[in-house]
Amino acid sequence: MAFYRVTIFQRFRGREFRNVIHLEDPNNFWTQDAIADKVRDSWIPPFRGCQFNSLNYYRLEVRRILIPTPPAALLKDINIFGNGSATAAVGFEAWKLQFQTGLAGKQHRGRYFVGGIASGFVDLSTERMGVTAISFFANMAITLETAWVQDDPTTALHLVIAHKDESVTPTRVFRINFDTVLCHLHSRKVGVGI
Predicted confidence (pLDDT) per residue in 176-191, tens digit = 999 888 887 766 555 5
- The answer to whether residue 145 is domain-embedded is yes
What's the pLDDT at 193? 42
Of 29-33, 101-105, 144-148, 157-161, the poorest mean pLDDT is in 101-105
For residue range 35-45, list pLDDT tens digits in order. Answer: 999 999 999 99
Residues 6+ apart with CB under 8 A from 8: 18, 19, 20, 21, 39, 43, 44, 57, 60
Q: Structure pTM? A: 0.89
The domain total for the chain is: 1
Tell me the C-alpha distance between 137 and 171, whole Å: 24
In a domain, 194, yes or no: no
Residue 188: predicted pLDDT: 57
**Strand order through the sheet with 109-114:** 109-114, 93-100, 175-184
Query: Can you give the residue range of the structural domain that contains 95?
Result: 2-189
